Amino acid sequence: MNKVKVTDGIFYVGVDDETIDLFESQYEVPEGVSYNSYVIMDEKIAVMDTVDKRKTEEWMEKLQGVLEDRTPDYLIISHLEPDHASSIKILAEKYPAMQLVGNAKTFQMFGNFFQMDIEGRTVVVKEGDSLSLGKHELSFYMAPMVHWPEVMVEYEKTEKVLFSADGFGKFGALRMKESPAEAKLEDWACEARRYYFNIVGKYGAPVQTLLKKASGLDIQMICPLHGPVLKENLEYYIGKYQTWSSYEPEDKGILIAYASIHGNTKEAAYKLAEYIGEKEKVVLTDLSRQDMSEAIEDAFRYDRMVVAAPTYDGGMFPVMEDFLRHLKSKAYQKRKVGIIENGSWAPMAGKLMKGLLEEMKQIEVIEPVVTVTSALNEASTKAIEALAESLVK
């Protein structure tokens, strides 16, 4: 089996999962996902995280290929979420002399997941502690809530590598042959952004704290737990994380997120897009049919959004309510939002959408709120034109 080198002393032993239907049972991953794991080979050997139990066997084979007849001294546990930690037990049982390295929170949570005796096998690290492997030395930085409380990252100072846990992760299998994991810049942001906002989005402040810590380190390479190893133009990736974690829009543009029962609200959404025309970038998404995580990504990506939905059972059409509640839980903020409601006899959706938006921080509702009563007519078409004007002003 080929060993995949990240550097002379660091090897990639991660695995692709291309058959999972939904990551975390909610995110479509048409290109799969990778569970990354690395091994630092030195006088002492450190395994950097494990993989999802769906891929334990394949990972163990790769690991064995790198270890040959040596035994790992340490397993570094950056994150206990099962996509990275569910193979811990099998590794720990295979190598009873191997020590488990985590922080106080790691071991506080460890027993929730694993029924095993780790007495005398733990190395508890805290902020700034280091662990020498020989030529390599790992320093530990706590990253609580990026995006679980026990998360920590490691910096290897000889090769200047940051092991960034879920940070800088991306959906998509690596499909690597022999070269270390890498991807072109333009490929990276699309699925890294969807990953970020849907999984880490709520935790902008902890990500900012981590970025501040990272800014004090000389980082030449980032090894995340999902997606490619990042080696060049690191300022590009770090810049994206600065923008995303501060909830600033990344691009100028308008997302029109609509839900439509019989097509009339959809027509209103398309009419708005037509009025905006060439003046601004417009992205339309049908919340009933298109992927929710993509809609959430676009809501954060652009500086303006319009929500359009009918009234249903006296409330908001369910997929719109789901969308707005998702946005709220991901801390959507600092955006201008327009509203188009539809209702044949007692329109309520506008009031309810506005109410949910008002629960979010720094959301400015753009006037006029448009009411369509069933199908577009002259008055509602005019109101849509007025909304288009306000949006592009």
Could you say which residues in the range 80-99 bind ligand FEO, by CB under 6 A?
81, 83-84
Closest CA to 310 of 376, 361, 253, 382: 376
Question: What six digits make up the tokens of 176?
Answer: 């690597």
Give the x/- contact pattern for ligand FEO in 149-178, rule: CB under 6 A: -----------------x------------
Residues 210-249 that bind ligand FEO (CB under 6 A): 225-226
Minimum distance, C-beta of residue 102 to ligand FEO, in the bound complex (Å) = 15
Distance CA 8, CA 36 (A): 18
Q: What angle do CA 55, 57, 61 make, to 5 degrees?
A: 120
The answer to whether residues 177 and 163 touch, using CB atoms and an 8 Å cutoff, is: no
194 belongs to the binding site for ligand FEO (CB under 6 A): no
Residue with tokens 């309510």: 321
State in angstroms the smallest separation of the CB of 69 from ligand FEO: 31
Measured from the CB atom, the residue of 226 and 304 that comes closer to ligand FEO is: 226
| Contact (CB, 8 A) for 173 and 17 | yes
Task: Answer for the pair 388, 276: CB distance below 8 angstroms, yes or no.
Answer: yes
* 223 and 6 Cβ atoms separated by less than 8 Å: yes
Shortest reach from residue 16's CB to ligand FEO, in Å: 14
Structure tokens at 178: 């022999």
Residue 191 near ligand FEO by CB under 6 A: no
- Residue 181 or 276 having the CB closest to ligand FEO: 181
Dihedral angle sign, alpha carbons of residues 299, 305, 308, 313? positive
Whichever of 196 and 312 has its CB closer to ligand FEO, that residue is: 196
Subset of residues 329 to 368 that bind ligand FEO, contact rule: CB under 6 A: none
CB of 23 to ligand FEO, least distance (A): 9
Smallest gap from residue 200 Cβ to ligand FEO (A):
8
Distance (Å) of CA 187 to CA 22, 51, 141, 170: 21, 24, 29, 10
Between 142 and 372, CB nearer to ligand FEO = 142
CA dist 243 and 240 (Å) reads 5
Residue 17 in contact with ligand FEO, rule: CB under 6 A? no
Q: How far is the CB of 381 from ligand FEO (least distance, A)?
A: 47
* Number of residues in contact with ligand FEO under rule CB under 6 A: 8
Residue closer to ligand FEO, measured from CB, 84 or 266: 84
| Alpha carbons 388 and 367: distance in angstroms, whole number | 10
Count other C-beta atoms under 10 Å from residue 24's C-beta.
13
- Binding-residue pattern over the window 41 to 80 for ligand FEO, x denoting contact by CB under 6 A: --------------------------------------x-
CB crowding 122-154: b at 16 or more within 10 Å, else e: ebebeeebebebeebebbbbbbbbbbbbbbbbb
Restricting to residues 120-149, name those near ligand FEO by CB under 6 A.
147
Q: How far is the CB of 108 from ligand FEO (least distance, A)?
A: 17
Residue 240 C-beta: closest distance to ligand FEO, Å: 18
C-alpha 174/C-alpha 371 separation (Å) is 47
Which residues here bind ligand FEO, judged by CB under 6 A? 79, 81, 83-84, 147, 166, 225-226
